[in-house]
Amino acid sequence: MGGGGSKEKSSSGEEKIKSPATPKVNKSRKQKKANVKQQFQVPLFGCAGAGKSTVFKALRIAKLSGFDEHERIVYGKKMKRAIMQMLSSMLEKIPAESLDGCTEQDVAQITRLASIEDLDAEEFDSGDILGIAKRFVSGKMIKDILSSSELTTSSLHLMDNAENMCTPSYKATDADILRFREPTRTKDFLVYDINDTATMIIHDFGGHRHLRDTWQKFADENKENVKLIIMVVALDSYLEDVGGMNDATQNKMKEAFFLLNMLINNIYKGADAAVFLNKVDLFQGALDKNCDLEACLGGGEYTGGANVTAAREYIVNYGKHQCGEKYDCVQFHNICGIDVEIVEKIVHGVEQSLVKSVLSSMGFI
Ligand SMILES: Nc1nc2c(ncn2[C@@H]2O[C@H](COP(=O)(O)OP(=O)(O)O)[C@@H](O)[C@H]2O)c(=O)[nH]1
Ligand SMILES: [Mg+2]
């Protein structure tokens, strides 16, 4: 997958190969044949934690061969370490002596395991880690101690499955991998055919502010060739503070639509956008907690309370408004990144409309 130079990571494996930029004139017969296909470069954008990498992983499972055994083992070790990190965070909040059955040795071991960077460290394959998980995690007490911002899809899944994940032979399943939060540090891409004449190249970037120079670099190399961008927006992100500013009006949903405006009106002027309203499964819970969308987004009067349909409509209208004149080039889709079937279905629809709009712009339909 991909082709050419160096320094980027493709999800096909460990090899680092440069992502395919705008097709160039190639010399070999094989390359010439490949270039007959239309290549759609589709970048995934969004704030950190919106679900870009989850959608990307779901596509990898749906469209390619998914994760191999080695990757499942490596994920398993990362999960064991993340469980120890949660326990360590819990131990910082309460004195170890107030935990039944917690010895000084346990505390020392949890602290050490939480800080091990080397995933090949033998400890991750030893049965000792299972003993710790059994003593601390199965009691579920940890859920009462961690703050609500720490109780994410990822941490809840780790806690609920800690015993199994801490067994020496554990290999992560697709469900575990999709729920595991791992900040994206490198740009990744995957390539698959839509039909005999068109290929999709999906790009996953880190969403964190300090990583956004990779967005710019990609735009410099590809913007003329990008016909569609995908913006992933978590439906509960109107409750999420941007970068610890502690200001309800500076939430990640506002930030996401601000970015969308910048992307479609300044950088990718010739592109349409698909907004993936992600985490549908968490939306009702978020609205039950706080449904004052008017205060969070400032998009005019909101009277829909905790009704998901009304709230979604308000968010869509707010999003369209942010897109200015290009509002009709933006399609909104509900999505659930951890559900491979839903991701596949929504992306299929997006592919079809992309092909159609390109054919129509070329005067074929
Ligand atoms: N409950 C739920 N969690 C999701 C969904 N999509 C993503 N997540 C979780 O949200 C967290 C952050 O997702 P990630 O893809 O890493 O976000 P990124 O920073 O945009 O790449 C991960 O723990 C995912 O499992 C979803 O639809 N529902
Ligand atoms: Mg990511």
343 burial class (0-12, 13-18, 19+ CB within 10 angstroms)?
Answer: buried
Q: Whose CA is nearest to atom 10 of ligand 1?
A: 51
Give the number of the atom of ligand 1 that is nearest the alpha carbon of residue 339: 27
Q: Give the closest residue to 20 by CA, choosing from 31, 29, 227.
A: 31
Q: Within this chain, do residues 129 and 202 fall inside the same structural domain, yes or no?
A: no
177 inside domain: no
Q: How many helices (H) and strands (E) does the chain have?
A: 15, 7
Q: Within this chain, do residues 294 and 231 fall inside the same structural domain, yes or no?
A: yes
| DSSP states of 161-221 | THHHHTSTT----HHHHHH------S-EEEEEESSSSEEEEEEE---SGGGTHHHHHHHHH
Which of 79, 176, 181 most suits a substitution to test ligand 1, by most atoms within 8 Å of the C-beta?
181
CA of 339 to the centre of ligand 2 (A): 16
Average pLDDT, the chain: 85
CA of 56 to the centre of ligand 2 (A): 9
Ligand 1 pocket, Cβ-based, cut-off 6 angstroms: 46, 48-54, 152-154, 178-179, 181, 184, 207, 232, 278-279, 281-282, 336-338
178 inside domain: no
Q: Within this chain, do residues 291 and 351 fall inside the same structural domain, yes or no?
A: yes
Considering only residues 64 and 109, tell me which one the structure prediction assigns the higher pLDDT: 64
214 inside domain: yes
201 inside domain: yes
Inform me whether the pLDDT recorded for 14 exceeds 90. no
118 inside domain: yes
81 inside domain: yes
199 bridge partner residues: 39, 193
CA of 337 to the centre of ligand 1 (A): 7
CA of 240 to the centre of ligand 1 (A): 14
CA distance linking residue 124 with residue 55, whole number of Å: 28
- How do strand 228-234 and strand 38-45 relate by DSSP bridges? parallel
**Could you say which DSSP state residue 229 is in?**
E
Inform me whether the pLDDT recorded for 2 exceeds 70. no
Q: Within this chain, do residues 202 and 76 fall inside the same structural domain, yes or no?
A: no
Q: Within this chain, do residues 25 and 88 fall inside the same structural domain, yes or no?
A: no
Q: Within this chain, do residues 63 and 112 fall inside the same structural domain, yes or no?
A: no
How many domains are there within the chain? 2
Ligand number with the minimum distance to the CA of 46: 1
CA of 309 to the centre of ligand 1 (A): 22
Considering only residues 234 and 325, tell me which one the structure prediction assigns the higher pLDDT: 234
In what helix (H) or strand (E) does residue 319 lie, and over which residues does it extend? helix 308-322
> Average pLDDT for residues 126-138, to the nearest whole number?
81
Inform me whether the pLDDT recorded for 130 exceeds 60. yes
Q: Within this chain, do residues 162 and 195 fall inside the same structural domain, yes or no?
A: no
CA distance linking residue 240 with residue 248, whole number of Å: 8
Q: Who contacts 17 (Cβ-Cβ below 8 Å, separation ≥6)?
A: 1, 2, 3, 4, 5, 6, 8, 10
3 inside domain: no
Inform me whether the pLDDT recorded for 79 exceeds 60. yes
Q: Domain limits at 323?
A: 9-67+184-361
339 inside domain: yes
CA distance linking residue 181 with residue 156, whole number of Å: 11
Give the number of the atom of ligand 1 that is nearest the alpha carbon of residue 44: 20
- Predicted confidence band of residue 146 (pLDDT cuts 50, 70, 90): confident
- Predicted confidence band of residue 214 (pLDDT cuts 50, 70, 90): confident
pLDDT at position 139, please? Answer: 62
Q: Within this chain, do residues 159 and 122 fall inside the same structural domain, yes or no?
A: yes
Inform me whether the pLDDT recorded for 274 exceeds 90. yes
CA of 258 to the centre of ligand 1 (A): 20
The span from the first CA to the last CA of the chain, in angstroms, equals 31
Q: Whose CA is nearest to atom 22 of ligand 1?
A: 181
Angle at CA of residue 316, ends 315 and 321, nearest 5°: 100
Considering only residues 127 and 343, tell me which one the structure prediction assigns the higher pLDDT: 343
Ligand number with the minimum distance to the CA of 338: 1
**Could you say which DSSP state residue 150 is in?**
G
Q: What is the CATH number of the domain that holds 58?
A: 3.40.50.300
Question: Are 277 and 235 within 8 A, CB to CB?
Answer: yes
Q: Give the closest residue to 257 by CA, choosing from 169, 316, 343.
A: 316
Tokens of 364: 């074929």
Q: Whose CA is nearest to atom 6 of ligand 1?
A: 337
> Average pLDDT for residues 271-289, to the nearest whole number?
97
Q: Within this chain, do residues 192 and 317 fall inside the same structural domain, yes or no?
A: yes
Q: Within this chain, do residues 101 and 28 fall inside the same structural domain, yes or no?
A: no
Q: Within this chain, do residues 212 and 116 fall inside the same structural domain, yes or no?
A: no
> Average pLDDT for residues 43-64, to the nearest whole number?
95
Domain boundary among 171, 192, 209: 171
Domain boundary among 136, 171, 206: 171
Q: Within this chain, do residues 149 and 20 fall inside the same structural domain, yes or no?
A: no
Domain boundary among 139, 171, 203: 171
Question: Are 294 and 352 within 8 A, CB to CB?
Answer: no
SS3 state of residue 158: helix
